A and B are shown apart, each in its own frame.
Chain A
């Protein structure tokens, strides 16, 4: 599912940077609609690293257990979860 709301650009850009860090590659053409597992081949093992990188970048604490699969669908849905957690 794609997100219809527009997420905080600062959060989106932190997510893209964190994704680049855990995937070990430069990411271009990533939008809020980009799917984390299907389009970027993120795996469940990398998600925890992604959250830790986001904690650093946004100076916040994330509760991993509050994450549901739907939050990990796209960059936009993760941004919405992070924005709500801040």
Chain B
């Protein structure tokens, strides 16, 4: 195990650079999977993604992970009242750099690469020894390092991409003898057709199977199948595409759906020296397979917690042997028969849970329980943080009381606001860490917040 460090982030700095005092530049390039998937053949792609504008503003999560000696790069400056409120809670804010321009459809990395003024500022930080810690490392962040001289905190892209494939997750779990759902890894259309035929027997026997893109974003790029005809259809679609393109490759996984009791996410940090630090396990809250938040602490047995720590140690050692260093989150489940499947997928990048660590260290006491969650909003115009603050009032986090909602991303609230005077409603997302001293208080707070944000906040 690595020597202990005073905070999660200093431990990451030591693991990735050898020095716990290294200044970081953090970049929240969420859904980096889209970059890894660029040269891969997954499920047939259908249209674009409507929520891209919101996902791209998840970049603001970095503000609450970075320390006061770090910089973060954002697509636009945070609402000043939001920063003022955070500072009032006692949060040591990092220094904030903003891209020269902001295209809602582009990730923060794409905007950054188009920003000469920002690139010059990053060059100055590189000269002072700063490292770039992106959400996940793709060719875009490598370009950013090359253009600015920033040292990458993470390994080269081919290593990072390889260990993020769901095909890799399944093969490593099999190599290490870790239990996993029955499934098939498919790298050609022929393998996919053969696997689908076997999976069809599982479906005919009453089980459900998931067909997953090997490089799909967690919870997306999955088709859940409970009718054998659907598998035939998928095989036909994938075969037709291969015939048209002349490319027989695919990167897909088919897995039987286990009877889940709880979703879990655990996290460890792999050092350049191969040392593995276990960080935490949290309960993951999902809806239809899509991530909705976390519950801290996870309601699991000591035996399961022990098995998870042992799995983390072995997975970390394997990732280190395969050339990876950095933070790793693994999705796992407990099953209704009391079992544990410790590897559903390996995400060798920052996870949503990563961004809560600094807040947990700062604000959660030994008896605090918390849920990290998102509130989906329906809006007809931009909302100011001051309006939201006034509306939520006592429901917001109060350090003296130790309970309430700590908003940890405000940019996603207004991210999808249309440019024009389109009167139709649009979606916003409010993310926060909800803390309380008891289950009852937590549930009451949550209900009160849901009821409050349903009434649309006042507009600018």
Contacts and interface: CB of A to CB of B under 8 A. Distances in A.
Interface of A: 35, 37-38, 43-45, 47-49, 51-52, 55-56, 61, 63-65, 67-69, 71-72
A43 B290 contact: yes
A63 to B, nearest CB: 7
B362 interface: no
| Top 3 A-B residue pairs of the complex, sorted by shortest distance between their CB atoms | A37-B50, A64-B44, A69-B48
Given A38-B425, A63-B240, A69-B48, A44 B43 contact: no
Given A64-B237, A65-B241, A44 B230 contact: no
Contacts of B44: 48, 64-65
A21 B425 CA distance: 25
Contacts of A52: 230, 233-234
B221 interface: yes
B424 interface: yes
B222 A45 contact: yes
Contacts of B43: 48
A47 B229 CA distance: 17
Contact of A48 (B46, B48, B229, B424): B46
Nearest to A78: B47
B420 interface: no
Nearest to A37: B50
A19 B278 CA distance: 43
A67 B43 CA distance: 14
23 contacts: A37-B50, A38-B50, A43-B50, A43-B51, A43-B220, A43-B290, A44-B46, A44-B47, A44-B48, A44-B220, A45-B290, A48-B223, A51-B46, A52-B230, A52-B234, A55-B233, A56-B233, A68-B47, A69-B47, A69-B48, A71-B47, A72-B46, A72-B47
Contact of A45 (B221, B230, B426): B221
A29 B238 CA distance: 35
| Chain A at the B interface: SS class | helix
A64 B51 CA distance: 19
Given A38-B426, A43-B220, A49-B223, A67 B46 contact: yes
Given A43-B290, A45-B290, A52-B230, 16 more contacts: A44-B46, A44-B48, A44-B50, A45-B220, A47-B46, A48-B43, A48-B46, A56-B229, A56-B233, A61-B236, A64-B44, A65-B46, A67-B47, A68-B47, A69-B48, A72-B47
Interface string B45-68: 111111100000000000000000
Nearest to B241: A65
Nearest to A49: B223
Interface in B213-237: 219-223, 229-230, 233-234, 236-237
Nearest to B219: A45
Nearest to A51: B46
Contacts of B305: none
Q: In the complex, which of the residues B45, B47, B223 has the most CB atoms of chain A within 10 Å of its own CB atom? A: B47
A35 B424 CA distance: 10
A26 B30 CA distance: 33
A67 B222 CA distance: 18
B224 to A, nearest CB: 8
Interface string B262-306: 000000000000000000000000000110000000000000000
Nearest to B425: A38
A49 B220 CA distance: 13
B191 to A, nearest CB: 20
Given A38-B424, A52-B234, A55-B233, A44 B223 contact: no
A56 to B, nearest CB: 7
A67 B48 CA distance: 9
